[in-house]
Amino acid sequence: MIKKTAVIFESFEGKIRPPSWEALTCAVELSNGDTDEIQLILLGEKLEALAQEISEKGGRNVIAIETGNGGFYNSARYKSILTGLFREQGVTHICLAGTTQGLDYAPGLAIRMDAACLTGVEGVFDAGDRLGYVRSIHGGKIVERLSVAAPLTVIVTQPGTFKPFSDSNSAQGTVDLRADSGEESTIRNIEIKQVQKESSALAEASIIVSAGRGFKEEENLDLIRQLSTVFTKSAVAGSRPLCDLGWLEYSQQVGVTGAMVAPNLYLACGISGAAQHISGMRNAGFIVAINIDPKAAIFNYSDVCIVEDLTTFIPTVIETFEKLKAI
Amino acid sequence: MMKILVCVKQVPEFDLEAEIKINDSGQGVVTNHLTAFRMNRFDEYAVEEALLIKKSFSDVKIEALTVGPEDASAAVKRAMGMGVDHGIHILTREENPLLAGQVAQWISIVAKTKSYDLILTGVMSEDQMQGQVGPMLAEFLDLPCATSVISEKLAPENQSVIAEREIEGGYRDVLELKLPALLTIQSGINLPRYPSLSNVMRAKRAKLEIIAADSLSQQETATVSALDYPGKTRAAEVLSGSQEEKAQQLYRILQEKAIIP
Ligand SMILES: Cc1cc2nc3c(=O)[nH]c(=O)nc-3n(C[C@H](O)[C@H](O)[C@H](O)COP(=O)(O)OP(=O)(O)OC[C@H]3O[C@@H](n4cnc5c(N)ncnc54)[C@H](O)[C@@H]3O)c2cc1C
């Protein structure tokens, strides 16, 4: 089967969202050399420069659609524009990044187009006459390999799992700039507002000690703060549930909806290793995990695994490190 | 009267006591009497949000619905224990895989007969981690939809709801959706309450509305799934010994890697 894949790029504040380049890598991995076609799609406002950029770096033809509406993303409009476009183009695969935007419209788009839909895709493989997709389930404790036989498949990649696309040899593609404001929408965009500034503390730290739901009680968080003081240039971070509980600030949250960090050392304590958390820290230089459960998914992403109860082990680490430092 | 539907899911909890294992068919995980089941955490936030709406507006009826085998009704009962008025169970056969598109379609068939003003779901389920049923259900019902909602305010006088979607980098996407609408609720929007004793008693006595999935539509699937245990992406060196020995080894490793002086 000749595949015709569309990769939908996303931009925010005049920049391409990095995970879009990962979605292109996914499309390249599932294509079969030169016989398959990959088309890049970009929706938004004032797209000329961005479309040029992706046609150059992506080395493929771009269809950029000015969607009006003040440049706002609007799922109802996007679904109607994309459905029209893909019917015209006759695509077999649609790849996009699993950003909050991608996850917002992709499942509905798939239903509208009678397509199969996979979210959280971390890898692709050849399953004979079909394509196969790899994703995590049960908080990362199990890997699911799905093979799909459908005329159209929508593939939503898990941020941070495919390499960002880069190919210095690729010839520049063409840019086809269009305009389509879609249908009248039942959704009205009001504004994009910033509620949280990016934390410089996490970006600047060379060591991040991070706490998860394994801490169980707010009082136990003193342990992570003490552990942090054992190191220099360190900062305290955590998983989303602790921020939801108000035990940590949202600026301390690591993951797809928090900070993407890459310190020299990431020390994960009582964190299970859900894909949304892993995406935010998998590029750390060195990863150490402390978890009471030997089967915790976080261990699969760690350089060093310590199966211990953090409530007793962290005090031991603090004491031991202080002792050894003094020697 | 305003009618709200909350979709909830029963998920297995695998931990130290109940280790996760792939079953013989290789297509599912083993669950037995040792497996603890609970309501998907993201759905607890959706239930709580519905209860908060009921508190601020008069004349609101909340229904909770689940799709799954016999045992799944516990999630609906839990929602009723939290204060939901009525429960619906779309009953599947034990061997039916719960595929997002199929589940959404089943719910849509039932929801069409009930004229809800607002439908809430969790942002994703903790077991399948797809985040698809909500937006797919909205599509089947032709409703406006917002996912990852972290704040919401109903404006019944305008027949609309203002929703804030959590997006990357500390930003929110603020939208007004015409009712009826569907929102998928992100964790952190509220603090879900525990079921109250009186509600739990009431839920125990309450009869759920049970609808056989087979009677709604036949299942067909284009996907075949095989499960596996994850591989390792790094060295994953497991330290052994006493706690103190492990701490000492860690110190040495970090020194070797020049992470600490
Ligand atoms: C759209 C979306 C975006 C999300 N974004 C993020 C994000 O940015 N960041 C994020 O973190 N999550 C995010 N999540 C949530 C994510 O899916 C997980 O729910 C979350 O990461 C789990 O946090 P956790 O590992 O702390 O908790 P759990 O999964 O509950 O894990 C707790 C761990 O602690 C261990 N433990 C328990 N007791 C002890 C003990 N005494 N000693 C040692 N270990 C112990 C357990 O074995 C377990 O592994 C997002 C979810 C969605 C749907």
Residue in chain B nearest A260 by alpha carbon: B169
Backbone dihedral region of A322: left (phi > 0), alpha (psi from -120 to 50 degrees) or beta? alpha
Q: What is the pLDDT of residue A184?
A: 85
Per-residue pLDDT band for A34 (boundaries 50, 70, 90) equals low
A280 ligand 1 Cβ < 6 A: yes
pLDDT at A233 over 70: yes
Which stretches within chain B are classed as H helix?
A: 41-56, 73-82, 100-112, 133-141, 197-205, 243-256
Residue of B105, B153, B243, B256 to mutate, interface with A, max A Cβ within 10 Å: B243
How far is B126 from B169, CA to CA, in rounded Å?
23
Burial class (CB in 10 A: 0-12, 13-18, 19+), B22: middle
pLDDT digits (tens, 9 = 90+) for B58-105: 899 999 999 999 999 999 999 999 999 999 999 999 877 789 999 999
The mean pLDDT of chain A is 95
Residue B238 lies in a domain: no
Ligand 1 atom at minimal distance to the Cα of residue B124? 53
pLDDT at A32 over 80: no
Helix (H) / strand (E) containing B172: strand B171-178
Closest CA to A90 of A115, A65, A73: A115
pLDDT at A224 over 70: yes
Q: Residues of chain A with pLDDT > 70: what percent?
A: 99
Cβ(B118)–Cβ(B134) below 8 Å: no
Question: Cα A161 to the chain's mean position, in Å?
Answer: 7
How do the pLDDT tens digits run along chain B, 261 residues long? 999 999 999 999 988 888 899 999 998 899 888 888 999 999 999 999 999 999 999 899 999 999 999 999 999 999 999 999 999 999 999 877 789 999 999 999 999 999 999 999 999 999 999 999 999 999 999 999 999 999 999 999 999 999 999 999 899 999 999 999 999 999 999 999 999 999 999 999 999 999 999 999 876 776 778 999 999 999 999 999 999 999 999 999 999 999 999
Q: What is the pLDDT of residue A251?
A: 93
Burial class (CB in 10 A: 0-12, 13-18, 19+), A129: exposed
| Mean pLDDT, rounded, for A155-165 | 96
pLDDT at A1 over 80: no
Residue B186 lies in a domain: yes
| Contacts of residue A89, Cβ cutoff 8 Å, sequence gap at least 6 | A4, A6, A39
Q: How many CB atoms lie within 10 A of CB A233?
A: 11
Q: Does B220 touch chain A (CB under 8 A)?
A: no
- DSSP of A21-77: HHHHHHHHHHS-GGGSEEEEEEEESS-HHHHHHHHHHH-S-EEEEE--GGG---HHH
Residue B26 lies in a domain: yes
Burial class (CB in 10 A: 0-12, 13-18, 19+), B191: exposed
- pTM score: 0.96
Q: What is the pLDDT of residue A215?
A: 98
Residue B222 lies in a domain: no
Q: Does A2 touch chain B (CB under 8 A)?
A: no
The SS3 assignment for B80 reads helix
| Mean pLDDT, rounded, for A218-232 | 97
CA of A273 to the centre of ligand 1 (A): 6
Q: What is the pLDDT of residue B223?
A: 78
Residue B220 lies in a domain: no
Q: How many CB atoms lie within 10 A of CB B242?
A: 9
Cβ(A201)–Cβ(A235) below 8 Å: yes
Alpha carbon of A174: minimum distance to chain B alpha carbons (Å): 30
HEC profile of B200-245:
HHHHHHCCCEEEEHHHCCCCCCCEEEEEECCCCCCCCEECCCCHHH
Range of the domain at B125: 2-215
pLDDT digits (tens, 9 = 90+) for A70-129: 999 999 999 999 999 999 999 999 999 999 999 999 999 999 999 999 999 999 999 888
How far is A101 from A71, CA to CA, in rounded Å?
14
Which of B165, B225, B247 has its CB closest to that of A320?
B247
In this predicted complex, what is the ipTM?
Answer: 0.95
Structure tokens at A96: 């996009």
Residue of A12, A96, A100 to mutate, interface with B, max B Cβ within 10 Å: A100
Q: Does A304 touch chain B (CB under 8 A)?
A: yes
Q: What is the CATH number of the domain that holds B144?
A: 3.40.50.620
Q: What is the pLDDT of residue A197?
A: 82
How far is A77 from B93, CA to CA, in rounded Å?
38
Tokens 């921020």 sit on residue: A243
How far is A238 from A211, CA to CA, in rounded Å?
4
B56-94 in b/e form (b: 16+ CB < 10 A) is eeeebebbbbbbbbeebbbbbbbbbbbbbbbbbbbbbee
Burial class (CB in 10 A: 0-12, 13-18, 19+), B232: exposed
Kindly list the structural domains of chain A, giving each domain's residue range(s) and its CATH number in brackets, ordered by start. Answer: 4-179 (3.40.50.620), 207-326 (3.40.50.1220)
Tokens 């240039």 sit on residue: A233
Per-residue pLDDT band for A252 (boundaries 50, 70, 90) equals very high
Q: Report the half-sphere exposure of B194 (CA within 13 A, side-chain side).
A: 2
Residue B13 lies in a domain: yes
Is the preceding omega at residue B180 within 30 degrees of 0, hence cis? yes
Residue B88 lies in a domain: yes
- DSSP of A181-215: --S--SEEEEEEEE-SPPPHHHHH-SEEEEE-GGG
Domain count, chain B: 1
Residue B206 lies in a domain: yes
Q: What is the pLDDT of residue A129?
A: 84
pLDDT at A267 over 70: yes
